[in-house]
A = this chain, B = another copy of it.
Amino acid sequence: MERSIRSCDVPEATIQRLPLYLEKLKLLQAIGVEDVSSRQLAESLDIKASQLRHDFHYFGGFSRPGRPYRVAVLVTALEQIIGVDHPVPTAIVGAGHLGQALANYAGLELQGFPLRGIFDANPKLQGLEIRGQAIRDLDELEPVCRREGIKIGVITVPASSAQDVATRLVSAGVTGLMNFAPTELKVPDHVSVRHERLTVGFMALSFKVKCGEARLAGEEPDAAV
């Protein structure tokens, strides 16, 4: 008899999987699937069914023993758990190539993260419109964030100004930061930061590629040390 949503104290690993579940379930819902078993859902995501049930177990029962899950029920519940049952106003700071690409990415709004502000210090970019949002000067950062109730700030500025931007966003009431700059950020405890590192992904991939080559070639890679 848990509370309806005992959200916190859920393992990090489970949190990471919740979005995957929601994504796949929305897809199933879109093509008209009404019921889905833990086995079916897990296999389509390449994980074990027991793990999926274990994850769901943190939030109480989504079904009854003997009955498969109802897709609609899961979608609604997961949206609420994740917090995208209501729109989460989001702002992007730094309108370079990456910032513009993210701003243009329609998926974000569809998944519940409407873009309510784009900022850049470069005057040449200011005024340019992306998906109905004009790029604003950095001076407007705090007032706009407060007015729009921005909850998540996306940092796509150079590493040198990332900490400054982060501090200003936090001071304007933003409690979630998505950091694309290659720098650690110091923020208060109540703020969550997620560091998205492109080059880390590429290098991890490179490692595995090299590893695969070595394994294929008789595990004698270069020998030139």
Contact = CB atoms under 8 A, between A and B. Distances in A.
Contacts of A34: none
A196 interface: yes
Interface stretch (A62-70, A93-101, A118-126, A140-148): A93-101
Interface string A108-142: 10011100000000000000000000000000000
A210 B4 contact: no
Contact of A194 (B152, B191, B201, B212): B201
Interface stretch (A49-57, A164-172, A215-223): A215-223
Contacts of A182: 23, 107
Q: Name the interface size band of chain A.
A: 35 or more
Interface string A195-225: 0111111111111111111111001011101
B7 A198 contact: no
B15 A207 contact: yes
A83 interface: yes
A192 B221 contact: no
Contacts of A207: 7, 15, 18, 81-83
A75 interface: no
Contacts of A210: 7, 82-83
A204 B16 contact: yes
Contact of A175 (B16, B202, B213): B213
Contacts of A216: 190
Contacts of A107: 182, 198-199
Contact of A7 (B5, B108, B197, B214): B214
A78 to B, nearest CB: 9
A223 to B, nearest CB: 7
Interface in A1-29: 4-5, 7-8, 15-16, 18-20, 22-23
11 contacts: A5-B225, A7-B211, A8-B215, A19-B199, A20-B200, A83-B210, A101-B102, A102-B198, A107-B182, A113-B202, A194-B201
